[in-house]
Amino acid sequence: MNKYTPWLISVIACVIAVLSFMRTPEQTGRTEPHAAQKAPAIQGEGKVDATPKKVAVYKESAKKKTKLPDRLKNDKAIAVLDSSRIEGSDHPQTVTTVINTDTGDTETLVSEDPLPWISVKSRNELKLTAGINQSGGYSGGLLFSHEFGSIKALNFGFDVALYTGGFKQAGASVSYRF
């Protein structure tokens, strides 16, 4: 391997990291509520008319608190049935809202789906480290990781690390999160 190869890989990884972190929330599409993808369990299922005796909805102020888009916030015919906060997870999740047609009450349920066998994804991580090295001195480092896919819970990617003292490392990685 050429003596410049680790430096080249480090520069490429740093450029990818900077470009990834420069993306604004607007570019990732995560700032506004958006229509959720239908769960595979109900795809192909037909809908039928149901006439609830009443429907319990939240007050009008709930539309502002849930940060709905203006088109929904300003529509008097739109009401909030339920709103849930879901913590991030590596597992896909299915969110299902049900209505009791007698009482009009709604309930939103969340279930964790199994990991897919094969998944293509893009996940970046940049770390700064500080610690004590083998000789008892202080050391620090800059680490960049990029995951590009997984098979079940095994994640595949590449890592680049630059440490004080001139140690550099670049290579492929396999990780398991628990």
Domain count, the chain: 2
pTM: 0.55
End position of a domain, from candidates 71, 97, 113: 113
Tell me, yes or no, whether 67 and 93 share the same domain.
yes
From residue 166, give the alpha-carbon distance in Å to each of 83, 141, 142.
51, 10, 12
Residues 57 and 82: their CA atoms lie apart, in Å, by: 8
- pLDDT single digits (tens) 118-148: 988 888 888 988 888 788 888 888 999 999 9
Its domain, for residue 108, covers 33-41+51-113
For CA atoms 127, 121, 96, 109, the dihedral sign is negative
End position of a domain, from candidates 95, 113, 131: 113
Residue with tokens 């680490």: 143
Tell me, yes or no, whether 58 and 109 share the same domain.
yes
Tell me whether residue 107 is in a domain. Answer: yes
- pLDDT single digits (tens) 46-79: 888 888 888 888 888 888 888 778 888 888 888 8
Tell me, yes or no, whether 97 and 137 share the same domain.
no
